Amino acid sequence: MEKLHLNLGINSYDIKFSDSFGELLDALREINAPKKLLIVTDTRVRELYADEVYNLLRGAGYDVKIHAFPEGEENKNIDSIMGICKACIDHGMDRKSMIIALGGGVCGDMAGFAAAIYMRGIDFIQIPTTLLSQSDSSVGGKTGIDFAGGKNIIGAFHQPKLVYINVSTLKTLSKEQFVSGMGEVIKHGIIRDAEFFTFLKRNSELVKALNPYTLIRLTKTNCAIKAAVVEKDEKESGLRAILNFGHTIGHAVESAYDFKMTHGACVGLGMVGAAYIAQKRGMITAAELGEIEDILTLYDFDTRVKLSEPEKIYSFMLKDKKRINGVMKFVLPTRIGDVTQVTDVTKDEIFAAVEYISKIQ
């Protein structure tokens, strides 16, 4: 089993990579996991993997229960969090108990947030089952829920004790969810690693065929990129904000269209929009903008979607939690493998970017 260590002082933990759940018990023993555990999952993952993990843990002597909430971003809310906390109480969990987040990004965000607030904070681990969560959201300690139409408005930084990635779970993803996950994967290459960007271009067939060796390399590289950033800026006071490339427009589109498009699809559009702004400013060439669009197309993204409500999109950007003292931050590419943060993107530039994305080719 391959692993990666995230060095955050007392909050340090390992990220482990496998193609099965077979080594999960060893990983739990290494962190001295308590005997009382609650598996938090959604209704879809409950049917796919929860029983396998439950039986594995139960057979090893753990006192474990399963709590499943309804699948979908629309259920990433305070009612679901209260349901998780109630399940903790019903299971007799104390401050030494542990939550296991088994599922995608929504599950990880909510299980982690519940762990952060239950009895003022208990431990949790991440077992991400989607490409999006394996490549991005399970690493770094961001937890939260959506509120008042905004994405991740209420939350906390709460680092897991372990991330256990089983790439075989990607076999049950829909094409839509796999494409969504590739949005964050491609993002990491653009912001930090030109060599990885090239790897993704050259190995698209192996990636899409879900070759286990290729997927482990892909997820490990993604986690290494994110870990290197998080180690330097755990609470997003500076460098970590580069991970928001594509998210300023992307989150606004996601919210404005009532989460009917996947997160990764919206991030893909946001990356095109940000790259367009950068190209118009002379920060990247037209060829580099084309490279970004081409790799998204290679992985079956729609790089053009008719966005008919630019004012609505802009209004959600004004509510984004990344705004500081009324200033909107944008992450713009300066080349493939490097980005910079700016605070002077104008409303006209944003509208031009939305218009560019909306031009169906």
pLDDT tens, residue order, the chain (361 aa): 899 999 999 999 999 999 999 999 999 999 999 999 999 999 999 999 999 999 999 999 999 999 999 998 899 999 999 999 999 999 999 999 999 999 999 999 999 999 999 999 999 999 999 998 998 888 888 999 998 888 889 999 999 999 999 999 999 999 999 999 999 899 999 999 999 999 999 999 999 999 999 999 999 999 999 888 888 877 666 777 888 999 999 989 988 888 888 888 999 999 999 999 999 999 999 999 999 999 999 999 999 988 878 889 988 888 765 666 667 889 999 999 999 999 999 999 999 999 999 976 5
CA count, 13 A, side-chain hemisphere, 92: 4
Whole-angstrom Cα distance, residue 121 to residue 95?
Answer: 7
- Residue 341 parent element (H or E): strand 338-342
Q: Indicate if the alpha-carbon torsion angle 180, 278, 235, 24 is positive or negative.
A: positive
Return the bridge partners of 340, or none: 332
Angle of helix 175-192 versus helix 286-298 axis, rounded to 10: 150
Q: What is the pLDDT of residue 37?
A: 98
State the span(s) of the chain assigned CATH 1.20.1090.10. Answer: 175-209+234-358
Q: What is the pLDDT of residue 237?
A: 65
Q: How far is CA 162 from CA 31, 65, 84, 246, in A?
A: 8, 19, 20, 28
Pick the CATH number of 2-172 from 2.60.98.20, 3.40.190.10, 1.10.10.10, 3.40.50.1970: 3.40.50.1970
Q: Indicate if the alpha-carbon torsion angle 256, 258, 263, 268 is positive or negative.
A: negative
The set of catalytic residues is: 120, 142, 184, 226, 236, 240, 244, 247, 251, 263
Q: What is the pLDDT of residue 361?
A: 55
Q: What is the pLDDT of residue 306?
A: 86
List the Cα angle 313/230/206 in 5-degree steps.
80
CATH topology of domain 175-209+234-358: Dehydroquinate synthase-like, alpha domain (1.20.1090)
State the span(s) of the chain assigned CATH 3.40.50.1970. Answer: 2-172
Closest CA to 65 of 81, 44, 51, 45: 51
Q: What is the pLDDT of residue 141?
A: 87
On whether the CB atoms of residues 125 and 101 are closer than 8 A, the answer is yes
